[in-house]
């Protein structure tokens, strides 16, 4: 999987349109029931999981979701601040919504998530693009905030919490295939990487009650889902009833680290596949890797962002590890889970990056042989340590050229990776109909490689065994050789 230029993560919906006009306040719709909510999500998987919490909260207030923009009484954008391009796309979308309000003055336009916290004053008072700004820890307050807007006021709640995890709220699955689902296990981040705005927009790290995670996973399985992805900014630092120093908070309660949580979820049912994202190289332990190896239903796939292959650049990024440390973690993955694939994140053109340091990234890619990569050129973000401490001194054309080189190396390595899988038979979870042919199904193997195969008698949510017969750099095309009940 490739992520380059102005793209973010899988599933983004981006429409760029522009117009003018100021929001007009008006009375709320008379009926509490039947009010329509239009919601778009941008950015990482965590944002999409948060959107499912938002819909759950508002559905209890009588809101129904709609895909028709003009029907909406409330429009919400769940936003991302990771790169400037992401923010510009959201701004363009908000300009479009602003024009809709001319024909429907009672319509509420709100921004949620990371961009809300960072740009509340500009969006509300300076540019008059929204009526409401809500941070990622304030979603419970949405019904009150919407009422404030319908009462003639602009509404804001961007307070960050040290406790909020939305643990007891059952998400309503959006655009779901009914087979795979995200389960949030923690919120916030304590790492303070110098290029990253997340600690400022999502707050301090806090972990969710493990029993609520297990209960949500069990409920999903009972409703026919067959795969969960455990989400966190840094899942390896998941700690329940443990302080940041590893001390027990309450002797009367169970303590749970990430390896133990993985095991708990894997034990929900052997037919429930478990994935997770994202790991951090400085925190990933051998205990986690041995847990993956122990359970067949924990997938043999690790996303381990490196960002750069040079230790000096990593130090400026405040990543907390060196090239050597990272390669030690890679060696451990390959030793303990020999059939695992590995993916990563890479940033080109970070502050002060020299040509030799860029070459170190390329050589590390060759050594690790990533099957998938999310690749970006550096985009300076306000309030980060990098903005305050370093000069964004790599020219844009150099950043772009280095990104092109990273992409070229990745495509070659990834093609070699899928080629090495030819002839093998993999257990695949059927996720749905292929986008390119309604005569084919698609699914992923344990290594997270997409496989395309003739539908035959296979059903969505079923496990099948597929032999790989041809490939692209990211996909295997195969034939079903055996089925089993899903």
Q: pLDDT per residue over 297-326, tens digit each?
A: 999 999 999 999 999 999 999 999 999 999
| Domains in the chain: ranges and CATH | 2-157 (3.40.50.12160), 180-419 (3.80.30.20), 425-484 (2.40.50.140)
pLDDT exceeds 80 at position 18? no
Most confident of 12-16, 47-51, 410-414: 410-414
pLDDT of residue 485: 53
Give the mean pLDDT of 346-365: 98
CA atoms of 270 and 273, how far apart (whole Å) = 8
Residue with tokens 């067959």: 226
Q: Can you give the pLDDT at residue 28?
A: 43
Any residues with CB less than 8 A from the CB of 226 and at least 6 apart, and which? 179, 180, 271, 272, 273, 429, 461, 463, 486
pTM: predicted TM-score of the whole model, two decimal places: 0.86
pLDDT (tens digit, 9 = 90+) per residue, 393-412?
Answer: 999 999 999 999 999 999 99
Contact in structure between 132 and 145 (CB atoms under 8 Å): yes
- pLDDT of 5 > 60? The answer is no
**Confidence grade of residue 245 (pLDDT, cut at 50, 70, 90):** confident
Three-state secondary structure string covering the chain: CEECCCCCCCCCCCCCCCCCCCCCCCCCCCCCCCEEEEEEECCCHHHHHHHHHHHHHHHCCCEEECCCHHHCCEEEEEECCCCHHHHHHHHHHHHHHHHHCCCCCCCEEEEEEHHHHHCHHHHHHHCCCCCEEECCCCHHHHHHHHHHHHCCCCEEECCCCCCCCCCCCCCCCCCCCCCEEEEECEECCCCCCCCCCHHHHHCCCEECCHHHHHHHHHHHHHCCCCEEEEECCCHHHCEECECCCCCECCCCCCCEEHHHHHHHHHCCCCCCEEEEECCCCCCCCHHHHHHHHHCCCECCEEECCCECCCHHHHHHCCCCCCHHHHHHHHHHHHHHCCCCEEEEEEEECCCCCCHHHHHHHHHHHHHHCCCEEEEEECCCCCCCHHHHHCCCCCCHHHHHHHHHHHHHHHHHHHHHHHHCCCCCEEEEEEEEECCCCCCEEEEECCCCCEEEEECCCCCCCCEEEEEEEEECCCEEEEEEEEEECC
More confident: 436 or 469 = 469
The more confidently predicted of residues 436 and 293 is: 293
Residue 64 pLDDT: 93
Give me the mean pLDDT over the 111-139 stretch: 85
Which residue did the predictor score with more confidence, 302 or 68? 302
Query: pLDDT-based confidence at 214, cuts 50/70/90?
Result: very high
pLDDT digits (tens, 9 = 90+) for 276-288: 999 999 999 999 9
What average pLDDT score do residues 112-118 get?
Answer: 81
Question: What pLDDT band is residue 8 in, cutting at 50, 70 and 90?
Answer: very low
- The pLDDT mean for the chain works out to 89
Indicate the pLDDT class of residue 256, thresholds 50, 70 and 90: very high
pLDDT at 408: 97
Per-residue model confidence as pLDDT tens digits over 332-348: 999 999 999 999 999 99
Q: Average pLDDT for residues 461-465, to the nearest whole number?
A: 97
Q: Stretch 221-235: mean pLDDT, rounded?
A: 96
């Amino acid at each position: 999987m490739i992520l380059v230029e102005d793209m973010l993560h899988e599933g983004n919906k981006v429409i760029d349109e522009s117009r003018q006009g100021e929001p007009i306040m008006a009375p709320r719709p008379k009926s509490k029931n039947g009010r329509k909510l239009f919601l778009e999500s941008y950015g990482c998987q965590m944002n999409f999981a948060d959107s499912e919490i938002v819909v759950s909260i508002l559905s209890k207030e009588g809101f129904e979701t709609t895909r028709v923009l003009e029907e909406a009484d409330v429009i919400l954008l769940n936003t991302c601040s990771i790169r400037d391009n992401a923010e510009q796309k959201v701004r363009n979308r908000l300009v479009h919504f602003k024009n809709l309000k001319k024909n429907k003055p009672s319509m509420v336009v709100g921004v949620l998530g990371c961009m809300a916290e960072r740009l509340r004053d500009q969006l509300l008072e300076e540019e008059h693009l929204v009526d409401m700004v809500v941070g990622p820890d304030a979603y419970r307050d949405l019904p009150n905030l919407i009422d404030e807007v319908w009462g003639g006021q602009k509404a804001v709640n961007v307070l960050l919490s040290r406790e909020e995890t939305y643990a007891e709220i059952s998400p309503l699955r959006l655009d779901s295939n009914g087979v795979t689902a995200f389960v949030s296990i923690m919120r916030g981040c304590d790492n303070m990487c110098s290029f990253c705005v997340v600690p400022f927009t999502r707050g301090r790290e806090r972990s969710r009650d493990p029993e609520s995670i297990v209960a949500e996973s069990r409920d999903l399985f009972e409703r026919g889902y067959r795969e969960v992805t455990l989400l966190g900014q840094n899942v390896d630092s998941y700690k329940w009833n443990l302080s940041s120093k590893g001390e027990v908070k309450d002797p009367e309660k169970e303590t749970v680290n990430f390896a133990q949580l993985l095991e708990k979820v894997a034990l929900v049912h052997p037919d429930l596949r478990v994935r997770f994202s994202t790991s951090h190289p400085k925190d990933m332990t051998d205990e986690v890797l041995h847990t993956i190896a122990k359970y067949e239903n924990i997938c043999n796939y690790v996303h381990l962002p490196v960002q750069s292959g040079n230790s000096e650049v990593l130090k400026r990024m405040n990543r907390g590890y060196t090239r050597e440390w990272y390669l030690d973690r890679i060696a451990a993955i390959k030793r303990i889970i020999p059939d695992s694939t590995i993916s990563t994140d890479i940033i080109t053109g970070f502050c002060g990056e020299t040509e030799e340091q860029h070459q170190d990234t390329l050589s590390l890619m060759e050594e690790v042989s990533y099957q998938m990569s999310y690749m970006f050129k550096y985009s300076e973000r306000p309030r980060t340590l990098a903005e305050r401490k370093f000069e964004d001194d790599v020219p844009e054309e150099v950043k772009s050229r280095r990104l092109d080189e990273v992409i070229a190396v990745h495509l070659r390595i990834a093609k070699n990776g899928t080629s090495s899988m030819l002839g093998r038979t993999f257990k695949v979870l059927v996720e749905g109909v292929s986008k390119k042919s309604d005569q084919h199904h698609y699914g992923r193997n344990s290594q997270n490689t997409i496989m395309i195969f003739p539908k035959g008698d296979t059903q969505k949510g079923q496990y099948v065994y597929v032999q790989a017969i041809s490939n692209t750099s990211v996909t295997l095309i195969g034939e079903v050789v055996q089925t089993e009940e899903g």
